[in-house]
Structure formats: C-alpha cells, structure tokens
Copies of this chain bind each other. A is one copy, B any other.
C-alpha cells in the first residue's frame, strides 16, 4: 500500500469516526484500528492529531461543496438554483449517518481550544456563503438576500442535527421562497 492510499484510508477512517462519535472521543488508536494504517505511518502522514483533524475537515469541505454544486447544476433557472441549495440540504439531512454539520460540531467541540479547527470552520462557512452569494447575484437578486438565506441554511443544519429530522430543510426552503418573492 503506497503513501497516497494509506493517506486516503486514514482520512476515510478519521472522517467516519470523528464525524460519527466526535473528535475527542476517538483515539488515534481507533483510527489505526479502523483504517489498518499503523500508528507509525499515521504519524508520518499527520504529525499530530490536530493535523489529522484539520485534514479531515479540509477534505470533507471540498467534497461537501462539490456535492452541493453538483446538485445545483441540475438546474438552469437562476432562482431555481438558489432553491436547489435547500433541496440539497434535505437530501443531506436524510442520509442515514447524518449527525449534523461537521463544522458546527467541530466548532462546538474544539472552538475554544484549537485555532486550526476554528480556521477550518470559518473557511468552510465563508466558502459556503460566497457560493450562495454567487447564486444570488446570478439570479439578479439584491446582495442583502445572501445573508438571510445563509442564516436559514445554518439554522436548518443546526436544527436538523439536534432533532434528527429532515423537516428543517423544508421549512427553510419555504422561508427562502418568501424572501425571494419579497426581494
């Protein structure tokens, strides 16, 4: 198994465990057990747990935004594309292992102690917001709408994570429709 493959396996295990059980309740030994990558190799690839966490968030961010964009790209109509964001949320919330937003959870868990994690969380949220801003601009809507839709999306993520239901996505979408109509 070459270095790149070991890295992927380690990140697969890290993502599954960190997201599913929380970062702090997962030990490096658990990551080794799940990934099959030895501790020695793990530490050569990621010199500390914090760096593994950072890499996990970074890779998940790229994939998360890819999947969002892929969903949005199903549509041509600019307003429909904006609403597609909320459709994607609903799809996400319905995934069987959904446990809330990984970045919000990581921030709650490590925001007070790990500046690297905070930076990852802010970068992810800012990227999501920027993407939303572009969709809003492409639809010819005023920029003020971006912040409002963003808050609805964040509220839906938090609430879905706490209640373990998909319903917040639909509620947020309804509110978004009203806000688009009002703008």
A interface, CB within 8 angstroms of B: 20-22, 24-25, 99-100, 104-113, 121-122, 125, 144, 147-148, 150-159, 161-163, 168, 171-172, 174-175, 178-179, 181-182
Main secondary structure of the interface of A (DSSP, over half): helix
In the complex, what's the smallest C-beta–C-beta distance from A126 to chain B, in angstroms? 9
Q: A163-B122, A179-B175 are in contact. Are A158 and B148 (CB under 8 A)?
A: no
Query: If the complex has contacts A20-B112, A109-B109, A112-B20, are A121 and B174 also in contact, measured as CB distance less than 8 A?
Result: no
9 A-B pairs with least C-beta separation: A108-B108, A155-B155, A151-B155, A154-B155, A148-B175, A105-B108, A147-B171, A109-B109, A22-B112
Using CB atoms, name the residue of chain B closest to A99. Answer: B112
Most buried by B among A113, A155, A182: A155
CA–CA, A65 to B166, complex, Å?
27
Given contacts A121-B162, A151-B172, A155-B150, contact A21 B178 (CB under 8 A): no
Known: A22-B108, A151-B159, A151-B172. 9 other contacts (CB 8 A): A22-B111, A25-B112, A104-B158, A106-B108, A148-B175, A153-B155, A154-B159, A179-B179, A181-B182
Shortest A167–chain B CB gap in Å is 8
- In whole Å, how far is A65's beta carbon from the nearest beta carbon of chain B? 17
Residue on B nearest A125 in the bound complex, by CB: B162
Beyond A108-B100, A108-B108, whether A174 also contacts B162 by CB under 8 A is no
Residue of B whose beta carbon sits closest to that of A118: B162
Q: List 27 A-B contacts (CB under 8 A).
A: A22-B108, A22-B109, A22-B113, A24-B24, A100-B107, A104-B158, A104-B162, A106-B108, A107-B108, A107-B162, A108-B108, A109-B109, A111-B162, A122-B162, A125-B162, A144-B174, A147-B171, A147-B175, A148-B172, A150-B159, A151-B151, A151-B175, A152-B155, A154-B154, A154-B155, A155-B156, A178-B179
